[in-house]
Structure 1
């Protein structure tokens, strides 16, 4: 699918991997609708991108907030005439916690809900609200493609560490719905691809201490470093352009298999 003159909705689009993705797609002629909670960062990005970008302050754990962002994007698309052909669900959080701590207290259900509501529910809610505006797009190319959905899982979906029960559950669920989503949307010519990154420089990894980050880097086979946001964005671009990528989860991890503990 071509990128130029298409509108892409990107949650978590004002920072980290989402912002790197937005920059890459925008540089290739895309229109980008950025959904993020950080309004100040969103304003900065829009001033950088210009008229081919819109920002919507959005809490992806709120159906009403997503609805407002989708409606705003649809109104913008009616002005530009550039159809919605892609969704990149990049909003995510991590909140570590052992299922039972050293004092024999279970992890709070509130912290589990927080992670699941953003990483899983927020992803599916964004997709379900955006898709009806993609199924009616004029099909393009020899295959009659209408668009692509790209979700973000994590290497923790496959080898989560101690304290990552909620996070691994959320990302494992995202990975597991990739194929059924692709099957649901195949009749409309809409593909579904999930990317599962390991350690990448992002807002989430900025919260790590230097010893924790170094331990994770040591678990990388090669290269022994955190991935760069631009490397993630490059795989998103390939997922958009390569029509044979569908119903699959792509690990982007430098052959990293996380140990049980650091």
Structure 2
């Protein structure tokens, strides 16, 4: 698929930066290795709270567990935001990752009309295919700890350009979007989710659960030394996944989750 024009930094700045917004600047790079690494370095040099960095040509991206995330130029958007959440207890920081997933889902629903949902903890899905993922990283800086929230959205990839065969793109799901308009809606929704995280964490948890398609599903939780199968029944106050197993309800704060579907005499992945 031919690349589409990159996001417009000036238009995004005019739309997103201002009174009442957590965003303070928007920079769009023609290309870079990793927006997360670039912004982490900038944070350690004193970059401001609310700095946004994005590109539609990221050459060395990575996801959870240091997995590589690469795409052809011009067919996706990689974005990282810097937050310095002064005054919020560190015990609530694990929710930042889930909060980002909520913002992505809300923004994508508005921008595309697609029935987007969340697989715990923060994979964004359409019909069980991954549309985007994210990575939250704590960074120690001279003025205190900060967090980098990085996410990549598959915009206009063809099937043979997808990083894995279980992924999808907005174009493949029937949504033709302008990258500037898309990122404006996503970052506006992320700002709203961040406000809930800071001021109304209980409401954030309710909205996350409403959009989490893992709840109610039969799942397999893959840990480093075990696999646990059961039914996802909810999210605990710390953001962990509660799974009903034959031994009782267990809560997982980490692990790869696979959605399963039951068929006669066996369980198949979905």
Q: TM-score, normalised by structure 2?
A: 0.31
Whichever structure has more strand as a proportion of its residues is 2
| Greater RCO, CA 8 A, separation 6+ | 1
